[in-house]
Amino acid sequence: MGRCVFCKIVAGELPASVVYEDARHLALMDLYPWRPGHVLVIPKAHSVRVRELDEDARARLFTLGARVADAVRASSIPCDDLHLAINDGPASNQSVPHVHLHVLPRTRGDLPRLLLSLATRPLIALRLLRPAPRATLDRQAAELRSALVFPS
Ligand SMILES: [Zn+2]
């Protein structure tokens, strides 16, 4: 079986708009954002489910996701609150079989738009849905990168 999309991104074989990278993690803009500013935080090592991560890896993933959420709140991306969410396995609508933490900005009253995004997800596989423009994703990634704060 071939490697998953995220493993190809980690290997540099597919492009991504990268918000953050270290030896063990990558944070990137979702190519088909449910809402503007949708970031995915992944461990670089391939695992499908959270139960395959040890407790330190789980803690690091969530801690990084929370920092990305802070960066979204500090950025110009519209955001009243956020989801920090993991679809843990294919039966939970996990779209790429590699653990990823969604950092999803929400604004008051945006539920119809979010539901429309979710309802049209199956069109991606049919190549009937266009990805977000790379220039937009790169601009958002750059802004979030500069807004990320790490404890000194
Ligand atoms: Zn993978």
Spell out the residues 6+ positions from residue 45 whose beta carbon is closer than 8 angstroms to its own.
24
pLDDT of 1 reads 57
pLDDT by residue for the chain (152 residues), tens digit each? 579 999 999 999 999 999 999 999 999 999 999 999 999 999 999 999 999 999 999 999 999 999 999 999 999 999 999 999 999 999 999 989 999 999 999 999 999 999 999 899 888 888 888 999 999 999 999 999 999 998 87
Assign domain 5-146 to a CATH class: alpha beta
Ligand 1 centre to CA of 8 (Å) is 7
Largest CA distance in the chain: 46
* pLDDT at residue 43 in the model: 98
Q: Which of 25, 38, 98, 100 is catalytic?
A: 100
Q: 83 catalytic, yes or no?
A: no
Task: Give the residues across from 83 on adjacent strands.
Answer: 104
User: Looking at 3-149, which runs of residues are DSSP E strands?
Assistant: 18-21, 25-29, 39-43, 81-85, 101-106
How do the domains of the chain map onto residue ranges?
5-146
**Residue 33 Cα, ligand 1 centroid: separation in angstroms?**
19
Ligand 1 centre and the CA of 111: distance in Å?
Answer: 30
pLDDT at position 121 is 86
